[in-house]
Structures are given as structure tokens and as C-alpha cells.
Amino acid sequence: MRKLSDSNVVFLQKAIIQDDFWSPYIALVRDVVVPYQWEALNDRIEGTEPSHAIRNFKIAAGLEQGEFYGMVFQDSDVSKWLEAVGYLLELGPDPELEAVADDIVETIAKAQQEDGYLNTYFTLKEPEGRWTNLAECHELYCAGHLIEAAVAYYRATGKDRILNVACRLADCIDDVFGPEEGKINGYDGHQEIELALVKLYHATQHDKYLELARFFLDERGKLPHFYDEEFRKRNGRTHFPGLKMTADKFYSQAHLPVRQQTTAEGHAVRVVYMCSGMADVALETKDPDLLAACRALWSNIVSKRMYITGAIGSMSYGESFTLDYDLPSGTAYAETCASIGLIFFAHRMLKIEPKSEYADVLERALYNTVIGGMSRDGKHFFYVNPLEVWPEGIRKNKNYEHVKVERQQWFGCACCPPNIARLLASLSTYVYSVKDNTAYTHLYIGSEARLELAGQTVSLIQRSELPWEGVVRFEVAMQRTSRFTLALRIPDWSGSPDIRVNGKAVVVADYQEINGYIHVDREWSSGDIVHLVLPMPINYMKGNPLIRETIGKVAIQRGPMVYCIEEADNGPHLHQLFLEQGAGADGRLEFEQEMLGGLLTLAMPANRIVEEGWGDRLYKANADTKVEKTTALFIPYFAWANRGAGEMRVWVSGSDSGQGGKRMGQSRQSTADS
């Protein structure tokens, strides 16, 4: 791990990650993912859908001849890549990468129009169509990603070339959109510009960008409806005829003003990008209604519409949320980008109010769906992250058409791969936050951070055995002894932790546990050591009884890792496995060094339904179900689909529902007796 300069660390309150589990990921992003994606964006990966994204910029810049190709939002793939490069350069210098990036920055700058407009699709293909189809055409979405990239690249390198491009673009947008007479009272179909403008506001301190972000949020869902008006103005021209983006206001969360939204509707990525922007603006403006809407949407997502893997989006059609407690495993959409967006949202809520539920969800999405979305070689990706697959069924039943059983090299719509890259490259920003002289530890990831506390820079050196053991050690280093609070998150997967400061047990008083963090408030001196042991049992997870999919089923989780069973370990017909529960049914842990870079597997007592005696019969009356004892081998969900196409499931049949199991019998009895 390279060393970053002090000034950068302080500026960003970043940590340098030094962690057995995560450092290889960040190295992978630097050494493989970002270079690989550069090749993909330049159409140099054989056998994949072409990207054409760099070519589009070069053509728009007048450097090459040709036509635009790709999705209307193809530009954003380049921006996300550049943003990831920015984060990598913050971690340490890389002149070669920086030269490549500077080059594409120049190309982007040349592709920018006189008036600051920048979008290769419209410049090359529909120059007259600018700002005429916000509902469908992602102009502001692409602008948002360009701005995010610009801010990241500027912060890492200090070079303002791309930041100036971003400002000119934002100024162009500010000239066109706004409440004033003659400006468009509209907003983008795909939220992104809002959170980007807040970043630009932070980088430049220009209030107008924050104002514009708030404008876009507040316009959404107003009546008469902007989508209908622009639709009429462009004589009903439609870019994506299959999706009813203009007519279906729920699809892009334009069915109600954002402050009135209480349920997560429509396209899942858009929801969480919107919420991130709302939280940003709420934090800056202290707007209580906006914060209330953030809390309501958060609550609806995480308490009614989120998969146990931290995935969101229950339906392929519209890549969308559906309704409360509708969480089908096999037909799940569960887009990688949506979990990344959920992390963005959680991160912002943590800044507003440090509550462990935000970090719990952030961690859940990160350790399961996000890293499950990329192979360990950094070159294969999932867009859709189902919780159950039956490859033969997926091939033949069109309800599963969107599901891939193995990670893909690239996608025609390639939003997810660069999104993973930019998230992992910036992972260090998620570990801590500081508020009111308190350092909050959100993630237990080995790292060295410099935090501004008690008027000085405090180094916090974390060593962590997560995700496999709940053993964490902090060492404090600072110039002078001073008082501040170290707030240690107690994850939802853990029991009561053991905390020792300099070897002495901390007896935690009730008042010390605030919103899921144990506050250790004391005079700290350099060299102080905190030992934290988080119990990490094998958790038998149940779904809320209102979830149809999970009734009678169990999922296994240990620490932040949700587990799954795969055909490679357990043979086919995984639905025939019933997990034993209750006393004596504990699993056996085994660390498999050879498996995918090292995995902790769990061997769990189970019963398997035996098929014998059925012959050609499809249904039988009053047949005893025959079972045999077996062991179900679980691996972490993120590691699935690395050994060829095969069945997988997260939710496994359990044996303690209804009449069954001893414990259940007793519990039912007592209900009946009372």
C-alpha cells in the first residue's frame, strides 16, 4: 500500500486501508479493474459488447470521424472510470495512469461545446434535441457523473482542467434550468445531478450549485407535470418505447414531490441516487422536511424492500422496486449499482446522524451484493444479483431472462462495473466519520486514518480480523493527550462486545450506548490500545413473516457475510435441503485457504428429502416425506458462481416452522395453554 501525503488525508479524513480482506480488492481495482475497464471503454476486450464510449468523446472532440454508438448515457461510463482514477491517485501517485487520465480529460474538454454543453449523444446525434427529453435521455445524469469525476480528479491531482470543464457545464445547466422565467422548470429522469452539484459546491464553495441541486429536487413530481409538458413540446417523440418513462411517473420517482414520498417506488438506482442528493441538501440546508423524507424513504427501503444481501429492486421490469415485503429470490433484479447507491445514501445519513442502522445496511450491501458483483479476477461482473438460481430454469423460463448465472465480461449497458471500481477505490472514506469531537467507527477495516479531533490530528491505526473473526484493535497516535470520544459501532450481527482499553475491560454503562455505538469518552494518549471483540456466531436469519418468499426458510449469516449453498458443494436440487435448527445443530467452521483467495465455509447439519419411490409420479397422496441426514456446505454469498454454472440459494428451507421441531412444538403448546 502506498503512502498518501498528509495533506490529502487530513483534507478528506480518509483512511489508508491495510487489511487482509480489503487491501487485495483495492490493489485489484488499481492493477486490474481500472486498466481492464480502460480497455473495455476503448473496445479492446474481445468477445464483449462494444462500449464505444471513448470513441464517442473523440468524435465529439473532432479528433476522430464516425458516429455516436451506445446507450444515450454512454458518456457516464467514462466519467465513472475517471472518478475511480481520481480516488486511486489520492491513494498514491501513478504517473502512467495519470497521463492516460490527463489525455482523456483533454479529449473531454475538447468535446465540450462553446456554451459549456457536454454530452456526446446529443452533440453527435441529436444536436437539435438538447434538453427536450429529460425524462428519458439522461443529459443531466451524464453531467452529474462528469462533475463527480471532475471533483475527484481535481482533489487527487490539484489539476483544475476537468474541474473547469465541470463548472462550465454546471453553469450551462444553471443558465438553462431554474425557477426563473424563460428557464426550463424541469429535472432529469435519472437522478444524479443533485448529489454531483453538492460535490461541486463543496469543491468550489459556489452557492449556486447547491441552489441548483435543491431546485432539481424540489421540481420533481410537481404538477402540471414537466414530463408531460416536454412530451407535448417534442410531439411525443420517445427514446425508450418499451419503458413508458414519460407516462409512468413512479418509474423515476416523479409521481409525487420528493418531500411527500414515503415509499421507494420505481427504478431502484434512481431512488437511492435521489435519496443521496436529498440527504446532501438536507445536511447543508438543515431542511427538516427534506430530512424527514430521507428518513421515511430509508425506513421503507431497509425495513420493507431490501434483500438480506443488501440488494434492492425486486423486479426486472423497470429495474424496480415493487411493494412492501415482495422480495422474490429467483426473479430479483438486485442491481449492483442499486446497492452501491444504497451505500451512498447510508453514508450520507451517517453524516447527518450517526446511527448504526445506516452502517449496518452499508456493510450488508458492501460485503454481499457489491463485492459479489465482481469476480476475484476483476474482469467479470454481475449486473443482477439473484438470491437463488436454477440454471436450467433460467434458460427456459423467461421470467428469469435478466438473470445471468455467471459473471459477464462487460455489458451493453455497463453502469455497474465502473461503479464498483469507484466505490472500492474510495472505500477508505466510509470507515470513519467525525462529529462533535467523536470519532465514529462505521466499518471494521484495517487502516490508518488521520482524524481531526480535539483540535489536533489523531492517527487511528485499526487492525481487524473481519470478516472472518470479530477481533479488532485500535491504536491511537497523537501529539498530545486530549479528550475525545471513540464511538464503536456494535453491528447488528454481533452480541455484546468485549472492549478493553490498554488491557482493562470497559464496563459499558447504558448511557454509553447511543444509537448502536458504544461511546468511549476519555483522555486519550498516544499509544493507547483498544481491543474490541465482537461475538460472531453463526446467525440463523429469519425473514419478517410478511415476506412470502422467506416463510419457513432460513438464511445463514456470520458477521457481515450472508452465506449461500451452491451446487458445486452440495449437488443439485438445493430445494431438497432442510436446515436443522435449535440446540445441537451448530455448524462447523472451516477456513478454506484454497477457495477463491481464502474463505470461511460453514458445514451445517441438514436433512435432504429423498426422491425414492416417486418414479414417474408428479403428485402423491398421503406420502411420507423421506429424509436423510446430511451436511449442507455454505460459502459466503459474494463468492458464488466462481465454479461454473450451478444452482445457488441463500434462503434454505428450515425445519422449525409450523407444527415441526421440538422448540416450535413447545412454543406452540405454551401459546395454546395460555
Sign of CA pseudo-dihedral 522, 527, 531, 532:
positive
Among 260, 303, 456, 502, binds its own copies (CB under 8 A): 303
Nearest CB to its own copies, comparing residues 363 and 580: 580
Q: Which stretch binds its own copies (CB under 8 A): 203-211, 277-285, 300-308, 374-382?
A: 300-308
- The minimum distance between CB 246 and its own copies, in angstroms, equals 18
Are 531 and 308 in contact by the 8 Å Cβ rule? The answer is: no
d(CA 51, CA 417): 12
- The minimum distance between CB 341 and its own copies, in angstroms, equals 18
Nearest CB to its own copies, comparing residues 160 and 324: 324
| Residue among 428, 478, 488, 489 at smallest CA distance from 454 | 478
Q: How many residues bind its own copies (CB under 8 A)?
A: 82
Residue 616 sits in the site that holds its own copies (CB under 8 A): yes
d(CA 253, CA 67): 33
- The minimum distance between CB 340 and its own copies, in angstroms, equals 20
Nearest CB to its own copies, comparing residues 500 and 668: 668
Among 112, 314, 428, 485, binds its own copies (CB under 8 A): 314
Nearest CB to its own copies, comparing residues 74 and 653: 653
Among 1, 514, 627, 645, binds its own copies (CB under 8 A): 627
Residues 373-392 that bind its own copies (CB under 8 A): 390, 392
Residue 584 sits in the site that holds its own copies (CB under 8 A): no
Among 10, 63, 323, 413, binds its own copies (CB under 8 A): 323
Q: Which stretch binds its own copies (CB under 8 A): 3-11, 230-238, 306-314, 341-349?
A: 306-314
Q: Which stretch binds its own copies (CB under 8 A): 182-190, 285-293, 310-318, 435-443?
A: 310-318
d(CA 162, CA 143): 12
- Find the angle CA(525)-CA(531)-CA(533) to the nearest 5 degrees: 155
| Stretch 468-507: interaction string toward its own copies, x if CB under 8 A | ------------------------xx--------------
d(CA 273, CA 289): 18
3-state secondary structure of 653: strand
Residue 626 sits in the site that holds its own copies (CB under 8 A): yes
Nearest CB to its own copies, comparing residues 398 and 480: 398
Which amino acid appears at position 618 of this protein? L
Residue 262 sits in the site that holds its own copies (CB under 8 A): no
Distance of CA 191 to the CA centre of its chain: 16
- The minimum distance between CB 343 and its own copies, in angstroms, equals 17
Q: Which stretch binds its own copies (CB under 8 A): 66-74, 148-156, 274-282, 620-628?
A: 620-628
- The minimum distance between CB 569 and its own copies, in angstroms, equals 19
> One of 142, 167, 415, 564 is an active-site residue; which one?
415
Nearest CB to its own copies, comparing residues 265 and 448: 265
Cβ-proximal residues to 528 (8 Å cutoff; 6+ apart), any chain? 475, 476, 501, 502
Residues 389-428 that bind its own copies (CB under 8 A): 390, 392-393, 396-399
Beta-sheet strand order (sheet of 456-464): 15-17, 447-453, 456-464, 471-477, 529-533, 498-501, 504-505
Distance of CA 644 to the CA centre of its chain: 25
Which amino acid appears at position 662 of this protein? K
Find the helix packing angle between 161-176 and 139-157, rounded to 10°: 150
- The minimum distance between CB 325 and its own copies, in angstroms, equals 8
Give whole-number Cα distances, 626 to 4, 130, 177, 607, 654, in Å: 62, 66, 68, 10, 16
What would the grid cell of residue 481 be?
493527550
Give whole-number Cα distances, 541 to 71, 391, 551, in Å: 40, 25, 11
Residues 525-564 that bind its own copies (CB under 8 A): 537, 539-548, 551-552, 555, 557
Nearest CB to its own copies, comparing residues 581 and 642: 581
What would the grid cell of residue 297 be?
424513504
Cis ω for the linkage preceding 93 (within 30 of 0): no
Nearest CB to its own copies, comparing residues 478 and 554: 554
Nearest CB to its own copies, comparing residues 418 and 661: 661
Residues 165-204 that bind its own copies (CB under 8 A): none
Sign of CA pseudo-dihedral 369, 370, 371, 373:
positive
- Rg (C-alpha) for the chain, rounded Å, is 26
Residue 632 sits in the site that holds its own copies (CB under 8 A): no
Which amino acid appears at position 393 of this protein? G
Are 24 and 435 in contact by the 8 Å Cβ rule? The answer is: no
- The minimum distance between CB 659 and its own copies, in angstroms, equals 3
Nearest CB to its own copies, comparing residues 424 and 652: 652
- The minimum distance between CB 544 and its own copies, in angstroms, equals 5
Among 581, 601, 633, 648, binds its own copies (CB under 8 A): 581
Q: Whats the size of the chain, residue-wise? A: 674
d(CA 191, CA 273): 6
- The minimum distance between CB 276 and its own copies, in angstroms, equals 21
Are 377 and 24 in contact by the 8 Å Cβ rule? The answer is: no
> One of 136, 319, 567, 647 is an active-site residue; which one?
319
- Whether residue 415 lies in the annotated active site: yes
- The minimum distance between CB 425 and its own copies, in angstroms, equals 30
d(CA 455, CA 629): 62
What would the grid cell of residue 194 be?
443533485
Residues with active-site annotation: 319, 415
